[in-house]
Structure 1
Amino acid sequence: MLGHQPTPPGTTNKEAAMATLYVASTETFVGKSAVCMGLLRRMQRDGFNIGYMKPVSVSVAHRADQVLDEDAAFIRETLGLSAPLDQIAPVLITPGVIESIMRGQPNNFAKALRDAYLSISRDKDVVVMEGTNTWSEGALVDLSADQVTDLLHAPGLLVSRYHTSLAVDTILSVQRYVGDRLIGVMLNQVEDPQRDFVQNRVVPFLESRGIPVFGILPHDSTLAGISVEELIEHLGGQLIGKREWCHKMVDSLMIGAMGAEASLSFFRRRSNKAVITGGDRSDLQLAALETSTNALVLTGNIRPAYQVMDRAEERQVPIIIVPDDTLVTVDRAESLFGRVRFHQASKLTHFINLMENHFDFGRLYEALGLAVG
C-alpha cells in the first residue's frame, strides 16, 4: 500500500502525482483537527505545497450572514491558505440540509465535494483532508468516511485515543472495513502508566497485522484545558469582569458545596481552576478567590455580593452568572474537557511540538510517496 493511490477518473497526470491523506477517527475529541495542523505545519516546513480540506462538516456555526466550520476557518487563516472557505469545507450539514434530505429532495453533494477537491488539489504536492467526528457521520448525504475515501481514492490515517486495549479492537475493525486504504494509525493521549505496554505490546501487535503505527503521543493535561472565553461561550450567562481576563486557561473544575471551614484547604488542591458554586455562597466564593482560581461560575442566576465582586476585580478573576443549578452546570462544563481544542496559540504550539517529538513524519512521507527536497 505504499505510494500513491489509483488516479481518480478525470484527473490529469499532474494531479495524479499529488498525494492525498484522509485523517479519520471513530470517536469525537481525539485531536483530529490538531493532528491535521501538525501535519500541515511540518509539510509546509519541509517545502511541500499543501492543501487542506474538511470534506463534510457536521459542526456548523452561524456567524453574521455566514454559515461555516470554525475549525476549517481557523486552519485556513492560520496556514495562510488562499482557497476559499466554501471549497475547503464544501459540504455543511445544517438543519436545513437534513430537512431537505428527509423530504426526498435531490442533492449533489458528491459532485460539490469532487469539484472542490479538484480545485484545492491543483498544483499541490499534498492535500490533507480532515474527516468527520465518527466513522458513520456523513452517511446521511452519502459521504461517510469510507464513501469519501472511495470517492477520492484517498489513503487514511486513523487517529485513535488509547485508554484501554479496546482501542485495538476499533483499529482492527477499521482495517477490516477499509482494507489497504488504511495506511496507518496514530495513538493519541496515551497515559504514562500505559506507555510501556503500548510501546512494547500494542505497537508490535498492530505492525504484525499490517497496520503501521506512525506515532504515540502522550496524554498532556495542558491540552485538555479550556479558556475562560470558551467556558463562557459554552455555558452562556452573564459575565462580570473585564473581557481581557477571559484569555486565562482553566485546567480543571471544582465544585463548591462544602462547609466554609473546609473550603480553603479544599480549593488549594488545584491551580488554574474554575470553581462552580451557588450564587448565594459568598463564603465559598471568597475562599476560592484566595487560591489559584481563574473563573468563578455562580449558579441560580444570583448576583454575587459586592465584597466578592471587589475581591474578584482585585484578583482579575471573571465571574460567570448562569441560570442553571449547580449539577446541570457541572455536567455542561465537564463536557468541554477532554477535547483537544487548539485555537489558542500556546496550545497549538505545544501540540505541534508533541508531534515533532513523537510522530514519524519520514515514514508517513514514504507511505504517501512524498520525497523531501
Structure 2
Amino acid sequence: MGKNIMLTSTKSGAGKSVVAIGLYLKMKEQGKNMGYFKPIGDAMTQQEKSRTDKDVSVISSVVARKFSKEEICPYFLNPEFYLEEILPEDAREIQQQIKDSFSNIQNKVDHMIIEGNHSFTQYAPVNLDDVYFAKEFNADIVICAPIEDDDDLNAVFTCHQYLTSQKLNVLGVVLNARSKMAEIRIKKYHTDLLESRDIHVIGSLQNVRDLEKPTVAEVMDATGAKLYSGDFLKVKNNLIGSFIIGAMGAEAALKILRANVDKCVITGGDRTDIALAALDTSTKLIIFTGNMEPVPRVVSVAQEKGVPLLTTSADTFTVSEQIRRIKTHIQPSEIQICRDQVENLDTEFLLKEH
C-alpha cells in the first residue's frame, strides 16, 4: 500500500518545496509512481482566472504535467488577509473541494507528497490547517524547520509535541540550515539533541545561497515598482545577490558598490552619481524611489548594459521594508539543486512502515 507524506513546517522558509521537488524526482528515478498535492496555495492575485501559486507552477513542470495546476493545488488564499475571503462556516465546502481533488490524484499514483501551509498552525481558525488535512489524508508527517541559531529548536519541539498530541504519526524532522554556521551547529549539537528527545532527524538541507535570492520579478511584486526601462522577459528571472541603499556620498558609495555583486541599488531619481556608479559595477537592478525618474544619460547606460530600471512612488525606507519581507520561490533553473539537496535525507526511511 502506498504512503502519503505531508510536509509541514514551523514557519515559512522551511524548504518544503525544495524537499517536495527533490523527493518527487528521486523516488521517480527509483521507479515509484509519485504524486504531488498542495491543498492551499498562495493567491498571487485576486483575479480568479490568474490566481496561482508560484511554487506550484514550477512543480507542475517537474511532474511533467501529469496533472494540471488546478488538480495539484485546488484552492488559493491570501496568507495575510484570508479572513476577507473565507469564514469558518464556509470551510466545509472548501474542505470537500480539496478532498475531492486529492482523491482524484491519489487513485492514480502509488505515493503522495503533500506540501502543507507556511506553518503547521496557518489557517487553523478556519479549519484548513495541516493537522486537519493530515488526518483526512491519513498522512505521515515530516516537519521542515529553518535553522538560523539554537533558538529555532524551540519551534521544532513545540511543533513536534503539538502534532503528536493530535495523534499524528510524525516521522521526523528535516532541518534547513540558513547559514554555514547553522550547518555546523546542526551537525555538532542539534541532531544529537533532537534524537535524544525521540525526534528523528531525517536529514538536513545545506545552505544554498541561490535558493534564497529573489528574482527581479519577485522584487517588482514585493515593491509594486514599475518597469521604467529594460526588457522584462529577459531579466525577470535574474537573481539579486544583495540590496544597497544609495543614500551616501558618491565616493563612499563606490566602495560599497564595488564590494557587492549581482546587486539591486535603491536610490532617488536625482542621484545620478549613485546610479552611474552602480552601472559601472556588477548591478542587476536599480530602483528609483520617490516617484523620481532617472535622467536620460542613466537610461542610456542602463540599456547598454542590460540593467532594468524601476520606479516607485514609495520612499526608500518603505521599499527597504518591502524587500525585507520578500518571499522567494524556486525557479525552473533551480530544480536540480532541489534534487541534489535530498541526497542528505534518509528517503528510504520515509517509505518504510512505521
| TM-score of the aligned structures, taking structure 2 as reference length | 0.90
What's 1:365 paired with?
Answer: 351
Which of 18, 21, 37 lines up with 1:37 in the alignment?
A: 21
Change (3 A) 1:246 1:85: closer
Matched, 1:129 2:114: yes
Change (3 A) 1:69 1:341: closer
Deviations 1:46-95 (A, max 9, x none): 11111111113354534673433332233123322433433322333369
Over the matched positions of the two proteins, sequence identity in percent amounts to 27
Which amino acid in 1 is paired with 2:268? G
d(CA) in 2 for partners of 1:262, 1:90: 51
What's 1:284 paired with?
Answer: 274
What's 1:73 paired with?
Answer: 57
Change (3 A) 1:166 1:303: same
Matched, 1:208 2:200: no
Unaligned 5+ segments in structure 2 are none
Query: Contact 2:43–2:51 at 8 Å: present in 1 too?
Result: no
Give the 3-state SS of the residue equivalent to 1:202 in structure 2. helix
What's 1:47 paired with?
Answer: 31
What's 1:90 paired with?
Answer: 74
Which amino acid in 1 is paired with 2:121? S
Change (3 A) 1:92 1:168: same
Give the 3-state SS of the residue equivalent to 2:294 in structure 1. coil
* 307-316 vs 358-367, which moves further: 358-367
d(CA) in 2 for partners of 1:99, 1:230: 24
The 5 Å alignment of 1:1-373 reads 17-62=1-46, 65-93=49-77, 98-99=83-84, 101-102=86-87, 104=89, 107-179=92-164, 181-239=169-227, 240-243=229-232, 244-336=234-326, 339-342=327-330, 344-356=331-343, 358-366=344-352
Query: Contact 1:294–1:318 at 8 Å: present in 2 too?
Result: yes
Change (3 A) 1:104 1:126: closer
Which amino acid in 2 is paired with 1:157? V
CA displacement at 1:331 relative to structure 2: 1.2
Deviations 1:3-61 (A, max 9, x none): xxxxxxxxxxxxxx111000001211222122211111111111111111111335453
Change (3 A) 1:21 1:263: same
Query: Contact 2:87–2:126 at 8 Å: present in 1 too?
Result: no
Unaligned 5+ segments in structure 1 are 1-16, 369-373
* 191-200 vs 125-134, which moves further: 191-200
* 235-244 vs 78-87, which moves further: 78-87
CA displacement at 1:291 relative to structure 2: 0.7
Larger Rg: 1
d(CA) in 1 for partners of 2:16, 2:91: 31
Query: Contact 2:174–2:203 at 8 Å: present in 1 too?
Result: yes
Q: Root-mean-square deviation (CA), in Å?
A: 2.4
CA displacement at 1:270 relative to structure 2: 0.5
d(CA) in 2 for partners of 1:299, 1:94: 27
d(CA) in 1 for partners of 2:76, 2:207: 31
Which amino acid in 2 is paired with 1:284? I
d(CA) in 2 for partners of 1:365, 1:128: 11
Give the 3-state SS of the residue equivalent to 1:38 in structure 2. helix
CA displacement at 1:367 relative to structure 2: 5.3
Query: Contact 2:42–2:52 at 8 Å: present in 1 too?
Result: no
Query: Contact 1:253–1:273 at 8 Å: present in 2 too?
Result: yes
Query: Contact 2:21–2:62 at 8 Å: present in 1 too?
Result: no
* 134-143 vs 56-65, which moves further: 56-65
Give the 3-state SS of the residue equivalent to 1:187 in structure 2. strand
How many residue pairs match? The answer is 348
Change (3 A) 1:301 1:131: same
Change (3 A) 1:47 1:67: same
CA displacement at 1:142 relative to structure 2: 1.3
| TM-score of the aligned structures, taking structure 1 as reference length | 0.86
d(CA) in 2 for partners of 1:41, 1:324: 42
Which amino acid in 2 is paired with 1:46? Q
